[in-house]
Structure 1
């Protein structure tokens, strides 16, 4: 495994130490280490089934760990209570989940940790409006979420996470199934968040428009960390360190060190 770069100054906002986890008695994470520093953007990469989403879900408490320790902002996760500091965008879901709601109502749910489930104050309404502006959905504030496209759904979910004004954003495949325009909106949004001091951990299948923002890439294979360091130059089936691939049309076969996803 490549040696990780040092995280940016001070206590890391996320730290996993030898974390293991199982799903249905099947080992999925096998003692992984992972750190995200302040104002750092870390991409979690790997093939399907490598443990990326499970790692994210252990951090937010959706999957119990069977070994090791997770810390958020220096506090063991089991004792962490300041969830308003964390914005989470889950994988492959919709904004509505079958419940009739407007875009504003869904995004307002991102303020619940701050309002303690009380009524929205002026500052809360302003935060919701700002989050919608960030993702280019302010003009749809009163629309029912059932009428949105897939890319618009994803923007609303991201706005819900941003409405909490988090110090840390955790996103599970935010680019999956969305159009290029929405991907570019997300890239601009994350650039602004990092500029304002946020840290970001996100699962990606490919770096795409986010590539210039990524400080480090952590690549998983079979529940283990295979690479922790500079992002690969390209991402795809044959584009990460650790995959030796020979192009059949090369005049003289030569191994190309160019992939981790396969």
Structure 2
């Protein structure tokens, strides 16, 4: 089967999205097919995270159509097929919890009445092993570094054994050692056939895994094709050289877990 005939796992058609009175996405088109690894790139404020939040239902679609696995997003309910890693958040959202408890919460979409079975515990253990956090399984997440928090969040997303993995700035504020572990983890998922959409500030160590890059500027798609050769967003097509840069702050924000 050719790339062009594979199932569209993600489909955005003419999607417009607003935050308050401000239009952030201005009719974007985006297709991610089964098995693809697509990077969503662009300067701060270009609409990358809003596109992802629109896709998973955190931001309403003001116009256009969004679909997951061929199902209109408003009617999509099979969230066990989707693993989501949010941007810069703590693993437990300020609630006392162990690493295992946080990762186990990613398995709830596959359980009945929230009761974990043997297969669920095994999936949690595999996810922790993948991100190199098995030795911290019983530790409180409050004792973790920023990079370790991020690895726990990725393990939580992997625990549901998703077909689609969506990650919003997974390398932001993460130390080099954790970046290398995250790149290895993602490579393992890609080799297993997982479809991946990554929101990135720059390609960095994930560059070898990327099939396509979609670059946003001012809420519009300005490039959809091969990843830029140079590393860093200043090499991106349509890059605006006057924009604010977020600090490389490793201190995580306090937000809750995604409610599915």
RMSD across aligned positions (CA): 1.8
Inter-CA distance 64–116: structure 2 relative to 1 (3 Å threshold): farther
Q: Give the TM-score normalised by the residue count of structure 2.
A: 0.90
1:118 CA displacement:
2.3
- Is 1:190 the equivalent of 2:186? yes
Report the TM-score when normalising by structure 1: 0.89
Q: Contact 2:215–2:237 at 8 Å: present in 1 too?
A: no
Distance 1:230 1:7 in 2: 14
Q: Distance in 2 between matches of 1:23 and 1:186?
A: 31
* Aligned equivalents of 2:177, 2:200: Cα separation in 1: 17
Q: 2:222 aligns with which of 223, 226, 235?
A: 226
Match of 1:64 in 2: 60
Is contact 1:110–1:162 with CA below 8 Å preserved after alignment? yes
For structure 2, list consecutive stretches of 5 or more residues without a partner in the other structure: 246-260
Q: Report the counterpart of residue 211 of structure 1 in structure 2.
A: 207
- Which residue of structure 2 aligns with residue 161 of structure 1? 157
Q: Verify the 8 A CA contact 2:157 2:165 in the aligned structure 1.
A: yes
Q: Structure 1 stretch 111-120 or stretch 184-193: which is displaced more?
A: 111-120
How much does 1:244 deviate? 9.4
Between the aligned partners of 1:41 and 1:77, the Cα distance in structure 2 is: 20
Q: How does 1:97-246 map to 2 (within 5 A)?
A: 97-243=93-239
Preserved contact between residue 239 and residue 261 of structure 1 (Cα < 8 Å): no
Shift of 1:98: 1.0
Q: Distance in 2 between matches of 1:190 and 1:65?
A: 29
Q: CA 1:174/1:117 → structure 2, altered by over 3 Å: closer, same or farther? A: farther
1:85 paired with 2:107, answer no
Q: What whole-Å deviation, never above 9, does each CA across 1:176-230 have from its counterpart, x for those lacking one?
A: 0001111111111111111111000010011111000000000000000000000
Query: Which residue of 9, 17, 28 maps to 1:13?
Result: 9
**Higher Rg of the two aligned structures:** 1
Q: Which residue pairs with 2:38 in the alignment?
A: 42
Q: How many residues align?
A: 243
CA contact (8 A) 2:204 2:232 kept: no
Which sections of structure 1, spanning at least 5 residues, go unmatched?
A: 1-5, 246-259
